Chains A and B, each alone.
Chain A
């Protein structure tokens, strides 16, 4: 007992004893589980940063377990792989879920690659290169990962890599004794802190490269896909806000979806020119790779929201013909069939969509509309479409293309004031001012909406009568005079205008005279030099 008393443990540790754990901590600093970190970062990238892109890629794809529906894949090279890839892509119905699968495949493949190649120490850095290549290529390709493309590749390529590496790893594990799988949650025992930090840096670099490519090389991709996602959710105001938040970007896709949002919110006659419309060329290639007709990207959506339901049907059918079925084209065909009261074919499209996973919401919303035109007409989106439908039949071929820009401009009758606004917007957009002034007549005696008022005031210099026909235009004269004074030096030739268009935009954003003189200059030039005298051919 006495012996025990002599060696009893002190209540408070001695200074030397307290020091020991600290020294231990210094020897073994915290090593982060890089595999887990990589998984989380890829997940966040694919969900929060690129989720909308993948969501729209899913909308541009089609997958079903039904053999007849998947016939379009028969005989294509690598069909089985793309079939599996398309199946996984369907989980991007909810990007948070789809991103989990992407993160699993990408980080899993990376981890397996390290195992298969028996990478040790600093060599572990190279296991991230394929993942970096995949993320970088996905960002670099932008629209091309889904626009008239084999969308099965998006998930099919990482799936293939994962499966090949998994099989290889299992073979190695089975036949190479002692070659155990490295830990996932904790770092490998032989990893030094510097190596651990280097891997973390590599991971961050990997994600940063993908984000940087999107941000600086393809800045429009996320904007457009976010707008498309908002359109699916019918968040029209959100769509318009998204476009205006990046008003400095000027791409046809953004302008198209922005116009759709404004038509739905009824702001088309006041806010159309809030974004730049000079149309830089995006990186996009169609199925024939070298001669893309990029209007295919948005034609059917614009047709529908311009009230041209039959034209939207045609474009959706052509999309389906050229690219095989996609959720986007099938949904458009279903909507158009409902709007046209073609119940049997609408039922067909809805039945097909029933065979696609995760489309329950769409079916629940539109299936009750079958044989019930009142329900169709009561739908908020369709209600706006109805307002601008043509009031009589005609042939699409007789009007400028694309039809949604050419059709209404030639008509003298419409169903609503919205139809008139849309047709007048075609004139102000294409800068066909004599026709615009002539067709403004139904608004005589009133102050027209902002864009038309600005356009009329601008044209009053040549047509003074306009001021008497539309009272109230004069209130904006000061701004017009200031503008003309401001830009006097730049309204010279085409090149001078083009040079200064961008710097003037922040100041005159949304102001029609700015658009008239400085916006859409490529089209203006094409119009004035090549199509003088014709209506609006080529100005789109």
Chain B
């Protein structure tokens, strides 16, 4: 029983009887009608909103951008949306200054103004009277965003985890459903973590994620059927870690990483996660076979990513910042930790022949190391033209690196630049995903408070420029303040996950992982 959802009904009952409940139900039916104040004074600044939804470009199918006015004095707020083409919407909020937009009217307004601007006027009722803030604009893009966003919700902790899950949010409304949640109550024998969910070509038809600790394995879902496999072996460092589905074939490229973490005592970045070793694998989901792609002991290869045509495999790689042959094994890990800011990852790629499944030689795509910078999470745009990645001062765990920003490389023009309009100057902007039409990027960023990552959306226009990013809307604008979990690994898909959490639970709990057969690379 979820009592919290009903406390609004329970509390009045406790206080005084059913009359209060009925009164509340009556009051809560439908939206209150707001009117634009007839008399007001004009402020010379734009309203300070939480989240900041001023002057942004939004998809026409996005959920209402509910916001709160960040002012302490006002007792009421009114927001007026006027479409350049047509449509007029007035809404508002009471003492809490939260503006709750009617979703039907909102959807209509956005559809009517697809490809045009919506002017927003915000009025606040101060003790001295109504004040109108400077107008701001919402630009409605022509292109929609994929309606579903998957992510993991987990505390921004360090080594430990407890209750967590993979969830899918419908971006066109506020509906969030669990794809899979681990055990709500701690049970030693069932405690496990889930991570690295990944989909084939923006479709949930084929997907995967990992289960760690108890009931561990990789869950591969193909055509609605889940199977647990163990991608392990004597030649494999740990297990499959960062995945990338081939866009058309039943193949998944994995990195396999031996990872360590260290905790800063004073640094602004609280944690440093490092690979002590890493390689690349290729897994055949049809045959349950795995083979090694790259395992150069002098290189740390990670974050594989297929190009949309499936003919290139991009990945990141770094050299060890010291000569491992001159360092005793017992000292190697300590040296790696102390030289954490000397690891610089480049982006390289290998040609792949889908018919023979052979890889060609590696070639440099983004040379970061020579600039003493470091790249992670390469993602190629659906049209194959842009390579999106995160770039920071060092290392590969950019989700905790304040210096990390989103960059793109125009593969046609061979130019690289930062997505300055979307980036935050001080907070980590890291894990990112393209929409299937290539016009939207959703990424995880800690810009709201420096600690909890949130999903932000930015428009990527045809000229290759990003626009000001905005936070994924929530029904309660305060949600991102009150939520004590981070949005991790956002992934867009065109459709909803079809397999039920129950079926996934059954697969995880009741099946033994089938070991993948290791095949030496030809």
Across the interface, do A310 and B163 meet the contact criterion of CB distance under 8 Å? no
Across the interface, do A344 and B184 meet the contact criterion of CB distance under 8 Å? no
Complex alpha-carbon distance, A318 and B161, angstroms:
8
**Which listed segment binds A: B262-270, B290-298, B502-510?**
B262-270
B-side interface mostly: loop
Any chain B CB within 8 A of the CB of A395?
yes
Complex alpha-carbon distance, A9 and B215, angstroms:
96
CB within 8 A of B482: which of A79, A287, A290, A351? A351
- Least Cβ–Cβ distance between A533 and chain B, in angstroms: 15
Q: Give the bracket for the number of chain B residues in contact with chain A.
A: 35 or more
Most chain B beta carbons < 10 A, residue from A287, A290, A345: A345
Any chain B CB within 8 A of the CB of A370?
no
| A308-B265 contact given A65-B11, A345-B449, A348-B452, CB 8 Å threshold | yes
Across the interface, do A345 and B1 meet the contact criterion of CB distance under 8 Å? no
Complex alpha-carbon distance, A324 and B479, angstroms:
17
| A321-B160 contact given A83-B3, A348-B449, A395-B337, CB 8 Å threshold | yes
Complex alpha-carbon distance, A69 and B476, angstroms:
12
Across the interface, do A313 and B270 meet the contact criterion of CB distance under 8 Å? yes
Interface string of A102-146 (1 = CB under 8 A from B): 000000000000000000000000000000000000000000000
Note all chain B residues with C-beta closer than 8 A to A23: none
**Which listed segment binds B: A70-78, A196-204, A376-384?**
A70-78
Across the interface, do B7 and A394 meet the contact criterion of CB distance under 8 Å? no
Output the nearest chain B residue to A68 by Cβ-Cβ distance. B482
- Least Cβ–Cβ distance between B156 and chain A, in angstroms: 7
Complex alpha-carbon distance, A352 and B483, angstroms:
9
Any chain A CB within 8 A of the CB of B417?
no
Complex alpha-carbon distance, A66 and B479, angstroms:
10
Complex alpha-carbon distance, A46 and B2, angstroms:
31
Across the interface, do A395 and B188 meet the contact criterion of CB distance under 8 Å? no
Across the interface, do A67 and B185 meet the contact criterion of CB distance under 8 Å? no
Complex alpha-carbon distance, A72 and B338, angstroms:
37
CB within 8 A of B264: which of A80, A318, A389, A393? A393
Interface string of B470-483 (1 = CB under 8 A from A): 00000010110111
| A68-B476 contact given A314-B270, A348-B481, A397-B262, CB 8 Å threshold | yes
Complex alpha-carbon distance, A310 and B188, angstroms:
29
Most chain A beta carbons < 10 A, residue from B156, B158, B161, B263: B263
Complex alpha-carbon distance, A324 and B162, angstroms:
9
Note all chain B residues with C-beta closer than 8 A to A308: 265
Output the nearest chain A residue to B3 by Cβ-Cβ distance. A80
| A79-B1 contact given A65-B11, A320-B155, A396-B263, CB 8 Å threshold | yes
Most chain A beta carbons < 10 A, residue from B265, B272, B337, B478: B265
Across the interface, do A321 and B155 meet the contact criterion of CB distance under 8 Å? yes
Across the interface, do A67 and B264 meet the contact criterion of CB distance under 8 Å? no
| A321-B7 contact given A342-B451, A344-B450, A352-B482, CB 8 Å threshold | no
Note all chain A residues with C-beta closer than 8 A to B334: 398
| A71-B4 contact given A317-B155, A318-B158, CB 8 Å threshold | yes
Across the interface, do B265 and A310 meet the contact criterion of CB distance under 8 Å? yes
Across the interface, do A288 and B186 meet the contact criterion of CB distance under 8 Å? yes
Across the interface, do B479 and A68 meet the contact criterion of CB distance under 8 Å? yes
- Least Cβ–Cβ distance between A526 and chain B, in angstroms: 23
Across the interface, do A310 and B264 meet the contact criterion of CB distance under 8 Å? yes
Note all chain B residues with C-beta closer than 8 A to A317: 155-158
Across the interface, do A390 and B265 meet the contact criterion of CB distance under 8 Å? yes
Any chain A CB within 8 A of the CB of B484?
yes
Note all chain B residues with C-beta closer than 8 A to A313: 270
A residues 39-78 near B (Cβ < 8 Å) are 65-77
Across the interface, do A72 and B479 meet the contact criterion of CB distance under 8 Å? no
Any chain B CB within 8 A of the CB of A194?
no
A residues 318-345 near B (Cβ < 8 Å) are 318, 320-325, 342, 344-345
Interface string of A72-103 (1 = CB under 8 A from B): 11111101100100000000000000000000
Any chain B CB within 8 A of the CB of A392?
yes
- Least Cβ–Cβ distance between B449 and chain A, in angstroms: 4
Any chain A CB within 8 A of the CB of B159?
yes
A residues 421-435 near B (Cβ < 8 Å) are none
Interface string of A371-415 (1 = CB under 8 A from B): 000000000000000000110111111100001000100000000
Across the interface, do B265 and A80 meet the contact criterion of CB distance under 8 Å? no
Besides the known contacts A310-B265, A321-B155, 4 further A-B residue pairs in the complex with CB atoms under 8 A apart:
A68-B482, A72-B484, A348-B452, A392-B266
Sample (18) of A-B pairs whose CB atoms are under 8 Å apart: A65-B7, A69-B482, A71-B4, A71-B483, A79-B1, A322-B160, A324-B163, A345-B451, A351-B481, A351-B482, A352-B484, A355-B482, A394-B266, A395-B263, A395-B265, A396-B263, A396-B265, A397-B337
Q: Which 5 A-B pairs have the closest CB atoms?
A: A393-B266, A344-B449, A396-B263, A345-B449, A321-B157
